[in-house]
Structure 1
């Protein structure tokens, strides 16, 4: 666990910090040997030197993004595509119920083979 990532999370609003910690735990449990790195001002997660996921805190949300997601379908109101669809993201807002199991399933699929 990166101290810089911990500091980043601790600066967030309490509800955002809670979401970030749950995402952080989910990533480490889902991707064996994942490397946590504070890069470009955000927590990044790498497997074998390849980007697997990133967590970003904004004013009113936490965004969780996965890489290598071309084959993952966009889900209206849940999972949106970024770029040409090679990245997918979910925006989590205060009070929202988060399906961490669904996110873990997506991450497991996108991180396989890295």
Structure 2
């Protein structure tokens, strides 16, 4: 079920809740679990709704949450710059910037490794923001 564009005046958290509920299957449960892990990893994360899907940001885009028939995908905007010691990235591996994880039905989620990726993505965003600030001053 494709996620709809954000209607005006509806809180983003409600849009994400509704999208999860509309799925009504393992994909909704998986997306809800990933959302919870993102919040555990970064309590200051900002939820947004862009491109018809949930997006999580902190000093820049962290990742998106996308649902397809056979998997739930999280695409990390700067994933190629994020250390992945547990090898969670399994999609979009040939890109110069993004990396993604496809979560299939009944596959376990390594919660600790996923939260480490989220924290690493936030660190990349913060470093990029700091570098831009220094460049502006110089």
Q: TM-score, normalised by structure 2?
A: 0.71
Bigger Rg, structure 1 or 2: 2
> Partner residue of 1:106?
117
- Larger strand share, 1 or 2: 1
Structure 2 counterpart of 1:34, from 40, 45, 52: 45
Residue 15 of structure 1 pairs with residue 60 of structure 2: no
Work out the CA distance in 2 between the residues paired with 1:44 and 1:90.
15
Larger displacement relative to structure 2 (19-28 or 66-75): 66-75
Secondary structure of the residue aligned to 1:98 is coil
Q: Does 1:66 align with 2:98?
A: no
**Deviations 1:2-35 (CA, angstroms, capped at 9, x unpaired):** 1111111111142111111110011111123111
Is 1:6 equivalent to 2:17 in the alignment? yes
CA distance in 1 between counterparts of 2:109 and 2:117 reads 14
Return closer, same or farther for 1:84/1:59 CA change in 2, 3 Å cut-off: same
Q: 3-state DSSP class of the match of 1:64?
A: strand
TM-score, structure 1 as length reference: 0.84
Consecutive unaligned residues in structure 1, runs of 5 or more: none
- In structure 2, stretches of 5+ residues that fail to align are 1-11, 130-138
Match runs of 1:72-87 below 5 Å: 72=83, 75=87, 78-81=89-92, 84-87=95-98
Equivalent pairs counted in the alignment come to 112
Task: Give the structure with the larger helix fraction.
Answer: 2
Pick the aligned partner of 1:93 from 104, 112, 115: 104
Distance 2:95 2:17 in 1: 31
